[in-house]
A and B are shown apart, each in its own frame.
Chain A
Amino acid sequence: MRRLALVLTFLASPLWAVEPGEILDDPVLESRAREVSQGLRCPVCQNETIDESNASLAGDLRVVLRERLVAGDTNEEAVEFLVARYGEFILLEPDKGGVNLILWGAAPVLFLLALFVGWRTTQRKSETHDLTDEEKAELDKLLSS
Chain B
Amino acid sequence: MSIEIAHFALILAFALSAVQTVVPLVGAQKGWRGWMAVAGSAATLQFVLIGLAFLTLTMAFIRSDFSVELVYLNSHTAKPMIYKISGVWGNHEGSLLLWVLILTLFGAAAAWFGDGLPERLRARVLAVQGSIGFAFMAFMLFTSNPFARLDVPPLNGRDLNPLLQDPGLAFHPPFLYLGYVGLSMAFSFAVAALIEGRVDAAWGRWVRPWTLAAWVFLTIGIALGSWWAYYELGWGGFWFWDPVENASFMPWLIATALLHSAIVVEKREALKSWTILLAILAFAFSLLGTFIVRSGVLTSVHAFANDPERGVWILVIFIIFTGGSLTLYALRAGAMQAQGVFSTVSRESGLIVNNILLAVSAFVVFIGTIWPLVVELIFDRQLSVGPPFFDAAFTPFMVALAIALPFGSMLAWKRGSLNRVGKSLIGWAVLACAMAALAFALQSGRSALGPIGLALGVWVVGGALQDLWSRTGRKGLSDRLSRLSRLPRADWGKAVAHIGLGVTMFGCAGILAWQVEDIRVASPGESWDVGSYTFTLEDVRQVRGPNYQSTMADVAVARGSSEIGLMNPEKRFYPVAAMPTTEAAIINGVMRDIYIVVGDPQDNGGYAMRTYIKPFANWIWGGAILMSLGGFLSLSDRRMRVGAASPKTAVLEPAE
User: How far, in Å, is B235 (CB) from chain A's closest CB?
Assistant: 5
B32 within 8 A of A: no
Q: Point out the residue from A17, A46, A122 that lies within 8 Å of B348, measured CB to CB.
A: A122
Residues A107 and B575 in contact, CB atoms below 8 Å apart:
no
- Interface status of A13 (Cβ within 8 A of chain B): yes
> Given A12-B580, A88-B381, A103-B371 in contact, is the A118-B353 Cβ separation under 8 Å?
yes
Contact A20–B519 (Cβ < 8 Å): yes
Assess whether B341 is in contact with A125, with CB atoms less than 8 Å apart.
Answer: yes
Mostly helix, strand, loop or mixed at chain B's interface? mixed
Q: Does A91 contact B352, Cβ atoms closer than 8 Å?
A: no
Residue of B nearest to A48 (CB): B301
Interface string of A6-19 (1 = CB under 8 A from B): 10111011111111
Which residues of B (84-98) have their CB < 8 Å from a CB of A? Answer: none
B598 to chain A, nearest CB (A): 10
Cβ contacts A to B, 11 pairs, < 8 Å: A6-B542, A9-B580, A19-B608, A47-B243, A88-B382, A90-B384, A94-B371, A114-B359, A118-B353, A121-B271, A125-B341
Contacts of B375 in A (CB 8 A): 99
Q: From residue 543 to 591 of chain B, which have CB atoms closer than 8 A to chain A? A: 544, 549, 551, 571, 573, 575, 578-580
- Which A30-72 residues have a C-beta within 8 angstroms of B? 38-39, 41, 46-49, 52
* Residues of A in contact with B, size category: 35 or more
Contacts of B361 in A (CB 8 A): 107
B385 within 8 A of A: yes
Q: A5-B549, A111-B360, A118-B353 are in contact. Are A99 and B240 (CB under 8 A)?
A: no
A110 at the interface (CB under 8 A from B): yes
Q: Which of A20, A47, A114 contacts B300 (CB 8 A)?
A: A47
Task: Report yes or no: A10 in contact with B601, Cβ–Cβ below 8 A.
Answer: yes
Complex partner residue of A93 from B237, B270, B389, B544, CB under 8 angstroms? B389
Q: Which positions 356-397 of chain B face chain A at CB distance < 8 Å? A: 356, 359-361, 363-364, 367-368, 371, 375, 379, 381-389, 392-393, 397
> From A34, which residue of chain B is reached at the shortest CB distance?
B517
Q: Is B435 an interface residue (CB 8 A)?
A: no
Q: Please tell me if the beta carbons of B385 and A103 are within 8 angstroms of each other in the complex.
A: yes
Are A122 and B342 neighbours in the complex by a CB distance under 8 Å?
yes
List of B residues within 8 angstroms of A13 by Cβ: 571, 573, 580, 600
Bound CA–CA A118/B271 (angstroms): 10
Apart from the given pairs A20-B608, A23-B519, A89-B384, 20 other A-B contacts in the complex at a CB distance below 8 Å: A2-B542, A9-B551, A15-B600, A16-B599, A16-B600, A19-B608, A47-B386, A48-B301, A52-B235, A87-B382, A88-B382, A92-B384, A92-B385, A94-B384, A103-B389, A104-B389, A107-B364, A107-B397, A114-B359, A126-B341
B55 to chain A: closest CB distance in Å?
34
A105 CB to nearest chain B CB (Å): 10
What residues on A are CB-neighbors of B542 within 8 Å? 2, 6
Q: Knowing A16-B600, A107-B364 are in contact, say whether A47-B301 is a contact too (CB < 8 A).
A: yes
3 smallest A-B Cβ distances: which pairs? A92-B386, A93-B388, A9-B573
A114 to B240, Cβ gap below 8 A?
no
Residues of the A chain whose Cβ atoms lie less than 8 Å from the Cβ of B383: 88-89, 91, 94, 100
Contact with A along B230-259 (1 / 0, CB 8 A): 000011010010110000000000000000
Does B243 lie within 8 Å of A6, measured CB to CB?
Answer: no
Complex Cα spacing A125 to B608, Å: 69
Docked pose: A88 CA to B379 CA in angstroms = 13
Q: How far is the CB of A106 from chain B (nearest CB, A)?
A: 6
Contacts of A121 in B (CB 8 A): 270-271, 352
Residues of B contacting A139 with CB < 8 Å? none
Count of chain B residues with a beta carbon within 8 Å of a chain A beta carbon: 66
Is there a chain B Cβ closer than 8 Å to A123's Cβ? yes
- Do A52 and B237 form a contact, CB below 8 Å, given A110-B363, A118-B356? yes
User: Is B163 at the interface (CB under 8 A from chain A)?
Assistant: no
Q: Is there an interface contact between A89 and B352, defined as CB atoms closer than 8 Å?
A: no
- CB–CB B356/A111 < 8 A: yes
Whole-angstrom distance between the Cβ of B304 and the nearest chain A Cβ: 11
**Is A140 part of the binding interface, using a Cβ–Cβ cutoff of 8 Å?**
no
Q: Please measure, in the bound complex, the distance between the C-alpha atom of A126 and the C-alpha atom of B363, giving whole angstroms.
A: 31
Q: With a CB–CB cut-off of 8 A, which chain A residues contact B520?
A: 20
Q: Which residues of B contact A118 (CB under 8 A)?
A: 349, 352-353, 355-356
Say how far B473's CB is from chain A's closest CB, in angstroms: 30
Residue of A nearest to B300 (CB): A47
Asked if A99 and B243 make an inter-chain contact with CB atoms under 8 angstroms apart, the answer reads no
Q: Which residues of B contact A90 (CB under 8 A)?
A: 384
Is residue B338 within 8 Å, beta carbon to beta carbon, of the partner chain?
yes
Q: 1/0 per residue B422-464: CB within 8 Å of A? A: 0000000000000000000000000000000000000000000
Q: Does A124 contact B (CB under 8 A)?
A: yes
For B237, what are the chain A residues with a Cβ–Cβ distance below 8 Å?
Answer: 52
Chain B residues within an 8 Å CB radius of A94: 371, 383-385, 389
Knowing A89-B383, A118-B356, the reply to whether A5 touches B575 (Cβ < 8 A) is yes
CB contacts (< 8 Å) of B573 on chain A: these are: 5, 8-9, 12-13
Question: Which residues of the partner chain B approach A46 to less than 8 Å between Cβ atoms?
Answer: 299-301, 303
Q: Which residues of B contact A16 (CB under 8 A)?
A: 599-600, 608
CA distance A49 to B235 in the complex (A): 12
Residue in A88, A94, A114 whose Cβ sees the most chain B Cβ within 10 Å: A94
Chain B minimum-CB-distance residue to A22: B519
Give the distance in Å from the alpha carbon of A47 to the alpha carbon of B241 in the complex.
10
* Contacting residues, chain A, for B343 (C-beta < 8 A): 122
Closest-CB distance, B402 to chain A (whole angstroms): 16
Contact B382 A89 (CB under 8 A): yes
Q: How far is the CB of B552 from chain A (nearest CB, A)?
A: 12
Tell me, rounded to whole Å, the shortest Cβ–Cβ distance linking B407 to chain A.
Answer: 15
A115 within 8 A of B: yes
Known: A5-B549, A9-B551. A107 touches B360 (CB 8 A): yes
Known A-B contacts A10-B601, A20-B519, A47-B301; the reply to A41 vs B386 at CB < 8 A is yes
Query: Which residues of chain B are within 8 angstroms of A107 by Cβ–Cβ distance?
Result: 360-361, 363-364, 367, 393, 397
CB neighbours (8 Å) of A21 from chain B are 521, 602
B338 cross-chain contacts in A, Cβ below 8 A: 124
Chain A residues with CB under 8 A of B397 = 107, 111
Q: Once the chains are docked, how many angstroms separate the CA of A93 from the CA of B387? A: 7
Q: Write the nearest CB–CB distance from B199 to chain A, whole angstroms.
A: 15
Q: Does B470 contact A (CB under 8 A)?
A: no
List the A side residues contacting B649 at CB < 8 Å.
none
Residue of A nearest to B361 (CB): A107
B344 interface contact, C-beta 8 A: yes
| Assembly CA distance A31 to B205 (angstroms) | 54
The interface centre, meaning the residue of A12, A46, A91, A110 with most chain B CB atoms within 10 A of its CB, is: A46
Measured between C-beta atoms, what is the minimum distance from A27 to chain B in Å? 12
Complex Cα distance A47/B359, Å?
Answer: 26
Q: Are B379 and A99 in contact (CB under 8 A)?
A: yes
CB distance from A16 to the nearest CB of B (A): 5
Decide if A6 touches B368 in the complex (CB within 8 Å): no
Interface: A134 (CB within 8 A):
no
Given contacts A12-B578, A16-B599, contact A123 B344 (CB under 8 A): yes
B527 within 8 A of A: no
Does residue A25 face the partner (Cβ distance < 8 Å to B)? no
Residue of A20, A87, A91 contacting most chain B CB atoms (<10 Å): A20
Chain B CB within 8 A of A127 CB: yes
Asked if B337 and A127 make an inter-chain contact with CB atoms under 8 angstroms apart, the answer reads yes
